[in-house]
Structure formats: C-alpha cells, structure tokens
Amino acid sequence: MSRLAARLEWPVSLALILGAIALVAVVVVPAVRAHASAAPVNTGPPSLAVSPAPGSLLDLTPGRWGGDPTPTLSYQWLICKGGPGPADGSGCITPAAPPPQPHPFQFFVEDSDIGYSFRGREIATNALGTANALSDGSPVAVKPDLGITGCPSVPHAGLVSINEIQPPARLLIDRHTSSPVVITRSTQRLTIRFHVLVCDGQNVQGALVYATPTPYEQFIGPERATNAGGWATITLNRERFFPATPRQQNLIVFVRARKPGEDLLGGVSTRRLVSFRVRLG
C-alpha cells in the first residue's frame, strides 16, 4: 500500500466510525426521553365518604395517579336516578345546571336530588394525554326521618350516617388507639384511630375527625371521615417541636368530630382531649 493510500484510509475510517456513533446518538436519545414520559395512569379511584341527604355537602376524596409529567386534575359529578347503576356510570347523567359548589370536588345536595345516587369523575391530564376514573356510587339521597332527639326514628343495625342526625343529638368519641403504642424520640409517624358513636351507641359513618397535639407543631395530619365501623384513621407526621420538653411523658391530643357543613363549634360536633404515652429515654 502506498503512503498516499494509507494517509487517505485512516481519516476515512475515522470519519465513518464517528458518523456511526453520531447516528446511534440521534436514534437512542429520543427513545430514552420518550420512555421517561407517560400519559396519566390511575392507580386508585376517587371515593365518596358521606351518604347524601338534602342540605349535605358531598366530598370527593381524590384518587391516585401516575404519569410524567405530573397530571392536573379536574372533576365532574354524575347523578343516577334510583341507584348507582352500572360501574362505568353509563346509567348516570351530568346535571344540566347544578347549583354553585364550594369547590369542584364538592357537591351540595338539594331537595330536588332526593331519589338520586351520585358518582364523582376525576379527570387527569398531562402533555401526553387524558384519563379518567369514576368513584363508586353513593346510596340514594333520602329525606331524613328525624324525631325530637335528632336521631333517626328507624334503627339501622347499629349504623347511622352523619347526615341522618341533627341537634340535640351529639357525637361521642368513646375509644382511641395508636401505632406505635408508645411514642419515642425516633418516632417520625404516628397513626391514631378514633371511634365515634351517636344515638344510644350506634356507629357513625361520615363524621369528620380532626386531631392535633397540644402544644402545636409536634405532629400534624389531615381530617378524616369515619368508616362504616365508626372508626377514623389519621396519620400524623412529626414536626420540629417534638418533643415539647426534654422530659415529656405524654402526648396530649385535641380531637374533634363533626358533621360536614356545620359550624365547627356547634351542631352535633364534639371535642375532647386524649393522651398517648411518650418515652424519650
């Protein structure tokens, strides 16, 4: 091979190799970027916690979503005559002109809604697409049959919806548990459960329970609704002022149970203080 041929062969080969690498880079990089983004995917549907009755406010608890970029959420309400209907909501309609609502994920039930069930639709949207998920249907809205006690005149096998009671009935927080049972210096999360009764010992479904330690800013968590067993589960996350003192032996927690839409200090609501053990040593 002549020197001239050798000189030409090396630059040409190098140029071919570099060109191939650049081509791979052009093909691979967009594929990686496409793989890192995804349209919204529902991993847990929204839910309704309160049985409807005229004058009540239905709250839709948001569902869980995956997708990248993070989807934005919007809401739509469906009304279903005579019952929830099929699980896909095909037996329901969107209200033509619903009354003004406090928030998009809330629905104010009126007398005209008696005989209807409700579903909430959550719509998730990001740059790559849109998906939606439907809650289970609520019980049919009925007019509460209230006696002079503020309690339903017909028993419900030990269960009362929060919307079926009014003053002078009052809620009662009768039991509580915690996990862990003993709070230590390393505790970062505290799960507490409260049991709510009304009307001669019947469980209450849909009562909103709020709990906060006193002094404040030791632990914090959201208000939660009671289930069909009358229990509300609240998870509190540790804040910067726990422990309140180096010798703290108890965590004193203020607890409130209330009916949605009522005055925080009135109606059927109740309040109490409970204590949980603390061991710092």
Give per-residue pLDDT as tens, 240-260. Answer: 999 999 999 999 999 999 999
Classify residue 74: in a domain, yes or no. Answer: yes
Residue 112 is part of which domain span? 40-134
Residue 146 has a pLDDT of 60
Residues 177 and 255 in one domain: yes
Provide the pLDDT for residue 32.
41
pTM over 0.75: no
Give the number of C-alpha atoms closer than 13 A to the C-alpha of residue 108, restricted to the C-beta side. 10
Comparing 146-155, 177-186, 261-270, which segment has the lowest mean pLDDT?
Answer: 146-155
Element (H, E) at 21: helix 3-36
Residue 144 is assigned to a structural domain of this protein: no
Our measurement of the distance from residue 164's CA atom to the centroid of its chain's CA atoms, rounded to an integer in Å, reads 23
Place of tokens 């209807």: 116
Number of Cβ within a 10 Å radius of residue 253: 23
pLDDT digits (tens, 9 = 90+) for 42-56: 999 998 866 677 777
Dihedral of alpha carbons 132, 138, 142, 148, sign: negative
- The structure tokens 């925080």 sit at 264
Residue 192 lies in a domain: yes
* Mean pLDDT, residues 214-218 taken together: 94
* Beta-ladder partners of 76: 121
Our count of domains for the chain comes to 2
Chain centroid to CA 79 = 21
| Greater pLDDT, 148 or 138 | 138
Query: What integer pLDDT is reported at residue 60 of this predicted model?
Result: 85
Span 261-267, mean pLDDT? 86
**How many Å apart are CA 194 and CA 172, to the nearest integer?**
10
- Specify if 81 maps to a domain: yes
Q: Are residues 106 and 172 in the same domain?
A: no
Give a yes or no: residue 17 inside a domain.
Answer: no
The CATH number for 65's domain is 2.60.40
Give the separation between CA 233 and CA 237, rounded to whole angstroms. 13
Shared domain for 272 and 170, answered yes or no, is yes
107 in the same domain as 54: yes
pLDDT band at 5 (very low <50, low <70, confident <90, very high): very low
> Which of 187 and 53 is assigned the larger pLDDT?
187
Segment 82-104 mean pLDDT: 80
Question: Which residues fall within 8 angstroms of residue 46, CB to CB, at 6 or more apart?
Answer: 60, 61, 62, 63, 120, 122, 133, 134, 135
pLDDT of residue 155 exceeding 70, the answer is no
Out of 42-56, 107-121, 122-136, the most confident range is 122-136
Q: What is the mean pLDDT of the chain?
A: 83
pLDDT band for position 57 (cuts 50, 70, 90)? confident
Mean pLDDT of 80-86: 88
Helix (H) or strand (E) segment spanning residue 17:
helix 3-36
Does 230 lie in the same domain as 165? yes
Q: Does any domain span residue 18? A: no
